[in-house]
Structure 1
Amino acid sequence: MSAPDRPLIDMDHLKSWVGREDTGSEILSEELARKYHAMLDMPGAPPAHGAAAPQLIHFCLAQPAVATAGLGPDGHPARGGFLPPVPLPRRMWAGGALTFHHDLKVGDLVRRVSRVADVSLKEGRTGPLCFVTVAHRIEANGVLAIDERQDIVYRGADSGGAGKSPPAAESGAFVEPVAVGAPLLFRYSALTFNAHRIHYDRSYATEVEGYPALVVHGPMQAALLRNFATKLRGAPPRRFSFRGLAPLFDTDTVALHARAEGDGLVLWTARDRGPVSMAAEATW
C-alpha cells in the first residue's frame, strides 16, 4: 500500500472497543458431532450423547448469526459491531491459544462469552497491520471448559503476496498427508457459519483478493494439527496454540508434520516444497 493510499487509522477510536462483549449459546448436538466427525475423516464412530466431543468443535458453536444483508463484500460481518471498524480491507484469523479445563460433551449446553481484549497497530513489510485480540470463555453447563485467545489481523488489499518468499519447510519426524480440496473447505465454512468468500468463492478469491486458489481456513488447519497431536500421543492436549505464517490453497498437496520438543509436540502444515503455513504447539 503506497503512502498516498494509506488509510487514516484512529487508534484511540479503535481502542474504545476494548472491553466490548458478545455472547452466544448452543447445544452441542449429536448431529453436529456426527457431521464434524465425518468432515474431518475422524476414525471410529462419532461420539454419542454424553461422550467427549473433539477439541476445537466449539469453533462451530454459538457463532454470531449476522443477517445476510449485514455482511460486507468479503462475506464477513460489516465492520463496527462487536469487532472494531478497522479501515483495512483484508481480515484473517492470525492464530490463537487455548487451555482446555474440561471436555465439551455431546448434549452439553455450550455458552460463549467473547471480549475484545486488545487492539494494536504494527508496521509490516508491506504496510500497516492491525491486530485485534479477542478473549473467549467457553462454558459447558455453566462450568468453564476452555479459555481461548483469538488473534485477528487486518491488512491492506495489496499486501498478501509481496515480500521475500520464506524458505521451504523441514520435514517432521512424523508426517501425515491430508487432502484439503474444495468440498472440505465448503463443509468447514458451513459448519462454522463462516461466509468469508476466500474459502468457497473461487472467482472472488482469485480476481478480487488475488490468491491463486481457494484459501484453506486457519482454524481448520489448527483442528487437523490438534487431531494429529492427539493421534500421536494417544490423548488430547491440555494446551494448544497456533499461528498462521503463509496461506495454503485447495489445489496444494499438503501434509501435517510434527516433532517432539520437551514434554510436548511442535507441529506444522506445509504444502509440497512450500513454507510452513500453520505452526502449532501442543502440551499435555
Structure 2
Amino acid sequence: MWAGGSMIWSETNSLRVGSPVTQALSIPRVEHKKGMVFVHQQRVLYPGIQETASADGWALKETRIHVFRAAQQAVDPVASADPSLAHSSHSHLDARANRDDDAPYRFSYTPTSPLLFLYSALTHNPHKIHYDQCWSIGKEGQRGPLVHGPLTATLLVELAGQVESKKLKEFNYRATSPKVLDEEIRMTGRWSEDGMLMLEAKQGFKVGMKATATFV
C-alpha cells in the first residue's frame, strides 16, 4: 500500500521535457510497526546524464512510503465493511459536505473503472485491487477497486498549482483511508495562518488523503 510521501523542487535546477534525466534511488529507512513493514524509498532526479550524484545539482527529491503486510485469507466484505460508510451514497451529501464550497481552491471528480485501469497501465502497477472488482471485494475486503494513492497525490499537486504568482517548493502527503471508484472525490485547499496550503481529498464525509504545500 502507498502510505504517503513528499516532493521537494529545486529553486535553481529543473527537468525539461525531451531532455535526459538521471535518477538515484535509495532506501534510507525501514520500520516495523504492528505487524507491518514501512519502507521509505528516496528518489533524487538530476537534469542530464550524471555519472555521480552531486549535492547541489538535483532538480527533484521525492520520498515514497510503502506499507507491506502479510497476505490474508479471503474475507467477508459485509462483515469487514466500515460501518461509517453504510450511508455514504450521494443522497447523503448534505449541508455538511457543502462546507467544501467555501475553499478557495477546489476540484471534484468521480473515479471510473477505465481511469483506474489506464492509470495502472501508465504507472506499470499490476495490483488487481485497482481494477478487479471480485479481487478487491473477495480477497482484500474492500467495497470495490481502490483509487491509487499516487493518483490522488498528483491531483492534489495540480490543485496546489492553481495558486497564482507562486512556485511550488515542497509537497507532503499522507493517505488516511481508502477511496473507491464510482463515488465522487472532493479536493480542497485552504491557507493556514502561517501561509501553508492545507489540502484534503475527501470521499463522502471521510478524508482519504491530507497534504501540505509550501511555495516560494
Residues 233 and 248 from structure 1, CA distance in 2 versus in 1: closer, same or farther, beyond 3 angstroms?
farther
Q: Residue 26 of structure 2 is aligned with which of 110, 115, 118?
A: 115
CA distance in 2, matches of 1:151, 1:232: 27
Q: Does 1:200 align with 2:131?
A: yes
Q: Is the 8 A contact 2:120 2:130 kept in 1?
A: yes
Provide, for residues 17-58 of structure 1, a one-character-per-residue CA deviation record: whole Å limited to 9, x for no partner. xxxxxxxxxxxxxxxxxxxxxxxxxxxxxxxxxxxxxxxxxx
Q: How does 1:110-149 map to 2 (within 5 A)?
A: 110-123=21-34, 128-141=35-48, 142=50, 143-149=57-63
| Equivalent position of 1:66 in the other structure | none
Q: Which amino acid aligns with 2:144?
A: A
1:99 maps to amino acid: I
**Root mean square deviation of aligned Cα:** 2.5
CA distance in 2, matches of 1:265, 1:243: 15
**Shift of residue 185, structure 1, vs aligned partner:** 1.1
Instruction: Provide the secondary structure at the position in 1 that maps to 2:39.
Output: strand
| TM superposition shift of 1:155 | 2.7
- Contact 2:27–2:41 (CA<8 Å) still a contact in 1? yes
Cα distance, 1:129 vs structure 2: 2.3
SS of the aligned residue for 1:144 comes to coil
State the shift of 1:233 in Å: 3.6
Q: Secondary structure at the match of 2:124?
A: coil
Deviation, 1:104, is 2.0
SS in 2 for 1:256: strand
Inter-partner Cα distance in structure 2 for 1:162 and 1:133: 29
Counterpart mapping for 1:44-55 below 5 A: none
Identity percentage of aligned residues: 30
Summarize deviations over 1:166-219 as a string: whole Å, max 9, x none: 9x9873623321221112211211111111111112221122111111100001
- The answer to whether the 8 Å contact 1:257/1:268 transfers is yes
How far the C-alpha of 1:103 sits from its partner, in A, is 3.0
Q: Which amino acid in structure 1 is aligned with residue 6 of structure 2?
A: A
Structure 1 CA distance, aligned partners of 2:119 and 2:166? 24
Quote the Cα distance in structure 2 between the aligned partners of 1:201 and 1:235: 40
Match of 1:173 in 2: 103
- Where do residues 206-225 of structure 1 align in structure 2 (5 Å cutoff)? 206-225=137-156
Instruction: Look up the match of 1:267.
Output: 199
Alpha-carbon contact 1:94-1:152 (below 8 Å) kept = yes
- C-alpha separation in 2, matches of 1:162 and 1:179: 21
Structure 2 vs 1, CA of residues 99 and 195 (structure 1 numbering), >3 Å: closer, same or farther? same
Note if 1:227 corresponds to 2:158. Answer: yes
- Considering Cα pairs closer than 8 Å and 6+ residues apart, tell me whether 1 or 2 has the greater RCO: 2
| Residues matched between the structures, number | 187
> After the TM superposition, which segments of 4 or more aligned residues of structure 1 sit over 2 Å from their partners?
155-166, 168-172, 232-236
Query: Separation in 1 of the partners of 2:44 and 2:196?
Result: 24
Provide the residue aligned with 2:3 in structure 1. 94
User: Which stretch shifts more, 203-212 or 238-247?
Assistant: 203-212
Matches within 5 A, 1:28-47: none
| Displacement of 1:244 | 0.3
CA distance in 2, matches of 1:237, 1:278: 19
- Aligned partner of 1:45 in structure 2 is none
How many angstroms does 1:111 deviate by?
Answer: 2.3
Distance in 2 between residues matched to 1:227 and 1:275, nearest whole Å:
21
CA contact (8 A) 2:110 2:182 kept: no
Structure 1 residue 254, shift from structure 2 partner: 1.0
Shift of the 165–151 alpha-carbon distance from structure 1 to 2, 3 Å rule, reads: farther
Question: Within 1, Cα distance between the matches of 2:84 and 2:110?
Answer: 24
Q: Which runs of 5+ in 1 are unaligned?
A: 1-91
| TM-score of the aligned structures, taking structure 1 as reference length | 0.60
**8 Å contact 1:257–1:269 — kept in the other structure?**
yes
Q: Deviations over 1:253-273 (max 9, x none)?
A: 11111110122201010112x
When normalised by structure 2's length, the TM-score is 0.77
